[in-house]
Structure 1
Amino acid sequence: MTNAPKTVGVIGGGRMGAGIAQSFATAGSVVTVVESGAEAAAAALDRIGAGLRKAEDRGRLDEPAEQVTRRVTVVPAVDALSADTELVVEAVPEDAALKARVLKAAEAAVGGTTVLATNTSSLSVADLAAVLDRPERFLGMHFFNPVPASALVEIVVAPGTAAHTVEAALGWTEALGKQDVVVKDSPGFASSRLGLALGLEAIRMVEEGVAAPEAIDDAMRLGYKHPMGPLRLTDLVGLDVRLAIAEYLHATLGERFAPPRLLREKVARGELGHKTGQGFYTW
């Protein structure tokens, strides 16, 4: 089995970034999380610590959670990343300009052999690569929420990605105890494109009064063995996140990804799902 990278940088300490950091730290990597502001930095470290303690309680750690936590530090800026960092994973919000900006800053901070990865769930990896001086060392590593418990990493290969970069990413995915799927860079890749198509159609069915959210979800869960229905999943992902991805795929792939009116209305009302307590379900 391939070893995890010795040193990892994670840009962004939100739910996804914290989960990625936790997973690499658990695998033995020394992890530096970039999160600006003392409050946000403390929150990121708290998320990682809480996740590790939960894993320890469930018997999923080979060493004490406190010991794993010592391998994680939080710094306030990208330029604080070490030049010898083996892998940097960008996990900031789904904003192409923001991602491009932090990736370019990360490339300037680290060495020429560092692999850069974006955790985007739908944006063009090739477009992000265009701002880099070394696009051959860049690819997508799309993790899934919650990262520590999810078995999948979607490896997204852009036209300029070198074979050795893909090989390194596949090895690191294996070291995390996860499985990979390799896909060509395309809007929404495989997972987001198919998952969103199902989710948007489920929302249209609610909008048209075909069935209640619970019935639609039960149909997919019981009839097709999905672990959860598309509407409950939308609540967990966040309706605002789903809307942003839908708008991007609508612009790039056409009308079949047009966001339903009901989705726009719920987002406008602040009904974003689990994180706000109300979406298609009350949490």
Structure 2
Amino acid sequence: MTHTIAIVGSGYMGGGIAQVLALAGNQVYLADISLEVTEKNYQRLIAESRDFVAAGLFAEGSTALLEANLHVAATVEDAVAGADFIEEAVPEVLAIKHDILARISAAARPEAIIGSNTSTISIGDMASAVIHPERFLGVHFSNPSPFIPGVEVIPHTGTAADVVDRAREIVHSTGKQTAVVKDVTGFVLNRLQYALFHEATQLVEEGVATPDDIDTLVRTTFGFRLPIFGPFAIADMAGLDVYNFCYASLQTGFPERFATPKILTDLVDAGKLGTKSGGGFLDVPAERTADLIAYRNKAYVAMQKLIDDLGPAPLH
């Protein structure tokens, strides 16, 4: 099923989201602060698509599909008037968000879903500007949106359950995956990303390692696993008793920073040690352990082959 979609904000993020949704067969209408800006960004998206096709990043025929499905709207109101789903992708300033969301919700059909691509601003704080706020939620794509497969979906406390389901269906129709998280400061993606970055900067400031060496370790050790497994799957496979011991060791130098999470201690105390015991964070059945290990090994070899084929990133 295809939809009529409006993207308000045609810059780098909004334009990329528009490409994703238009390539999935939806009729997508772009709007920005002026018709001139929107037309300029539309032409950039078409030219960019040609480059992506030539590089093998977009499928053959993608540019023609974009030209058929992606449209320039003269105003925000024109873009949203007939839309089933509207994605706001304007600058990360609450006052600007409030102003544009008020315009969107006044001009949109009352049943139209309104999403925001914010990565930092509370969805609940923005919802106050929306008429019928039960149809409003965060739909957070990552940069570059045509190529990053995950989307963070953030309902506020008043978002209707069916709105969450419908928004996820639209995102899933593009081939992307969603995770639904609560409307808390930083949501999930950025809390995790910035927690890692904070610890990395501490290590540099303390003279423990250089940025280059830290990047090398992240890429080639635990970060190497992350495209295949998330942190809970990795912990289950390592053994939660091992994690519990490592926390105790880390506390000898950093007692507060690395306090053992209660949820981890509770599982260990209950004898749930991860895949070795058949129960943990993800509760993988013990009889699936051999299959999981075989998949893990195959995935890591394939990952290394991909990296070898790509060659080193042009950072130096």
Whether the 8 Å CA contact 1:84–1:111 is kept in 2: the answer is yes
Q: CA deviation at 1:221?
A: 0.9
Whether the 8 Å CA contact 1:15–1:47 is kept in 2: the answer is no
Q: CA deviation at 1:173?
A: 1.4
Counterpart AA for 2:21: F
1:159-174 equivalent positions in 2, closer than 5 A: 159-174=157-172
Q: Does 1:83 align with 2:81?
A: yes
SS, match of residue 171 in structure 2: helix
Q: CA deviation at 1:38?
A: 5.3
SS, match of residue 223 in structure 2: coil
Partner of 1:141: 139
Identity of matched residues, % = 35
Q: CA deviation at 1:54?
A: 3.8
Question: Where in structure 1 are there 5+ consecutive unaligned residues?
Answer: 229-255, 257-280
Q: CA deviation at 1:208?
A: 3.4
Question: Where in structure 2 are there 5+ consecutive unaligned residues?
Answer: 227-256, 258-313
User: Larger RCO: Structure 1 or Structure 2 (Cα < 8 Å, ≥ 6 residues apart)?
Assistant: 1
Between 1:213-222 and 1:16-25, the stretch displaced more is 213-222
Whether the 8 Å CA contact 2:35–2:75 is kept in 1: the answer is no
Q: CA deviation at 1:52?
A: 2.4
Whether the 8 Å CA contact 2:80–2:86 is kept in 1: the answer is no
Q: CA deviation at 1:171?
A: 0.6
Whether the 8 Å CA contact 1:88–1:116 is kept in 2: the answer is yes
Counterpart AA for 1:30: Q
Partner of 2:192: 194
**Aligned Cα RMSD in Å?**
2.3
**How has the CA–CA distance of structure 1 residues 185 and 43 changed in structure 2, closer, same or farther, with 3 Å as cutoff?**
same
**Whole-Å separation in 1 of the counterparts to 2:131 and 2:34:** 29
Q: Does 1:31 align with 2:28?
A: yes
With the length of structure 2 as denominator, give the TM-score of the two structures. 0.67
With the length of structure 1 as denominator, give the TM-score of the two structures. 0.74
Counterpart AA for 1:224: F
Q: CA deviation at 1:33?
A: 1.1
**How has the CA–CA distance of structure 1 residues 76 and 205 changed in structure 2, closer, same or farther, with 3 Å as cutoff?**
farther
1:123-142 equivalent positions in 2, closer than 5 A: 123-142=121-140
**Whole-Å separation in 2 of the counterparts to 1:154 and 1:130:** 21
Partner of 1:269: none
**Whole-Å separation in 2 of the counterparts to 1:59 and 1:123:** 32
Q: CA deviation at 1:64?
A: 4.3
Q: Considering only CA atoms, is the larger Rg found in Structure 1 or Structure 2?
A: 2
**Whole-Å separation in 1 of the counterparts to 2:203 and 2:36:** 41
Runs of 4+ in 1 over 4 A off after TM superposition: none
Q: CA deviation at 1:151?
A: 0.8
Q: Does 1:21 align with 2:18?
A: yes
**How has the CA–CA distance of structure 1 residues 108 and 188 changed in structure 2, closer, same or farther, with 3 Å as cutoff?**
same
Q: Work out the number of aligned pairs and report it.
A: 229
Partner of 2:44: 47
Q: Does 1:175 align with 2:173?
A: yes
